[in-house]
Amino acid sequence: MSKNIPETELLYTKSIPVDKLSTLDALQLMLNEHENGMKSVRESIEKIEKAVISIYSHIQKSNKGKLIYCGAGTSGRIGVQDGVELYPTFGWPVDRLNFLLAGGKEALTKSIENSEDDIENAKFLAKNNNFNESDVVIGLAASGNTKFTEEILKIASKKGALTVAISNNPNGSILKQAKVKIILDTKQEVIAGSTRLKAGTAQKVCLNLISSMVMIMMGKVKDGQMINMVSNNKKLKDRKFRIEAYFNKKYSYNE
């Protein structure tokens, strides 16, 4: 039976069960596994580089294409977390950003787990989004087999969009539907199946690397600073003032 189950769902057997450990030992075990999640990102860095170059090249061909994140549950929320920061940090246009979540916006704050198998909803959202060859669609799934995400990527690919699949399962079916495939092989969680742990950490870091590097390549960062940032509060206005003063040679961070 276990042959057909993703490793992300299997029982963690490298130690006694986490609930049998002392509080400190349990915390150390979870932290160690989060670090192992980071190792899975490092092992896939060349694939991540390919994704960055592919996304950048695709975006540069048109000024109309959207960046679209799709997923269910934790994976979908991590996609939103990454994407919503692109406007304030880099000035990426909000009308060129979209999120396709299993269960819709309600899934951001409420678990709607049965929605991950809703292929009809995926088809409906894909139709409404009207994918085209200028778009970039990034699909995430810890198990790699989320039907909602697989269907979105399948439709996006047929429409000519650049598709990127990020799976924590090397045999994830979503990988078959994407042009660029990234495997974050995080294996078993210390709480079996709870991929909000190291699988989620690996996904967050992976997306963070991809989106940040794409924006850097687009010239939205200069001398390590956010030159296109949107300032809408005192802290950010002060930061923008320092950045502008720095480039006008009126401010030095070393002073």
Active centre residues (catalytic): 85, 116
Alpha helices in the chain (DSSP H): 23-43, 45-60, 73-83, 86-90, 119-129, 147-158, 198-217, 234-247
CA distances from 110 to 77, 78, 107, 139, 192 (A): 11, 14, 5, 20, 21
Q: Residue 222 pairs with which residues in a beta bridge?
A: 225
What distance separates the 2 farthest-apart alpha carbons in the chain?
67
Q: DSSP state, 21?
A: S
Residues 6+ apart with CB under 8 A from 229: 88, 89, 90, 91, 236, 239, 240, 243
> How many angstroms separate the CA atoms of 215 and 210, rounded?
9
Round to whole Å and give the CA distance between 62 and 58: 8
Sheet hosting strand 67-71, strand order edge to edge: 97-101, 67-71, 136-141, 162-167, 180-183
Residue 179 near residue 54, CB atoms below 8 Å = yes
